[in-house]
Amino acid sequence: MVIMRRAGYTNEEISNFDGGAWKASTVKLYTRGIVVTDKSFKTDSTKLLAQFIEEDLTIEELRIFLAVKTVLDSKEVTFEDASDLINEANKAKLVPRDVIALYKGTISSAFDQIRQALDLKSQMQQEGLHLEGLREILQASKILGGYNKVLDAIDHEVKQLTIEKENLEKVRGEHPSNGGEINRLYHCDLAET
């Protein structure tokens, strides 16, 4: 009531705004001593209301407008920015809705890729593989001609070690009296790898 009175609305007009729930005499009591400071708000809002009626807009459309404005403001985007985007799409003979859909798809895809990268990083860290280890793998990859060749080389080495281990265990089983010497060779061989 005070804001409306400062804007130049009369007690009767303020009473009419709330459908008569507050009588003009009650409004007068609440706004006693309030000085009209700027009538431009009343003038501008009256013009806006007239335009609203001329455009045959509904209250729901006004609510949607205000909701869109709130979202745009929160993103620090103006209506002019949005309008410029639509105009640029039209100039390029693109359907603005398609441009927005493409943008949303790109953003969604980018977020999916970021989420996957973070999940992979977490899994690698759980396995003890950190950035320095990845750099070493990258260097080996460059030397060997790609990560597939690095994996092939590792696989080959693991198979060789498995064969050697099986051979040593077989020899240990065949010559239990030389177990100490075989154990020394076995552990020495594993330590070198």
Instruction: State the residue range of the domain holding 157.
Output: 131-192
In a domain, 171, yes or no: yes
Q: Which two tokens stand for residue 89?
A: 């799409």
Q: Which two tokens stand for residue 145?
A: 């001609």
Look at residue 184 in the predicted model and tell me its pLDDT: 61
- Number of structural domains found in the chain: 2
Look at residue 159 in the predicted model and tell me its pLDDT: 92
In a domain, 118, yes or no: no
In a domain, 75, yes or no: no
In a domain, 172, yes or no: yes
Look at residue 177 in the predicted model and tell me its pLDDT: 58
Look at residue 175 in the predicted model and tell me its pLDDT: 65
Point out the domain boundary residue: 17, 41, 57: 57
φ and ψ at residue 127, rounded to 5 degrees: -85, 0
User: How far is 142 from 88, CA to CA, in rounded Å?
Assistant: 45
In a domain, 181, yes or no: yes
In a domain, 182, yes or no: yes
Look at residue 183 in the predicted model and tell me its pLDDT: 60
Residues lower than pLDDT 50 in the chain: 193
Greatest Cα pair distance in the chain: 116
* Cα angle for residues 106, 110, 112 (degrees, 5° grid): 120
How confident is the model over 137-173, as pLDDT tens digits? 888 788 878 878 878 888 888 899 889 888 888 877 7
In a domain, 88, yes or no: no
User: How far is 185 from 168, CA to CA, in rounded Å?
Assistant: 8
In a domain, 125, yes or no: no
The pTM assigned to this predicted structure is 0.37
User: How far is 99 from 78, CA to CA, in rounded Å?
Assistant: 18
23 with 11: CB under 8 angstroms? Answer: no
User: How far is 28 from 19, CA to CA, in rounded Å?
Assistant: 16
Q: Which two tokens stand for residue 184?
A: 């020394």
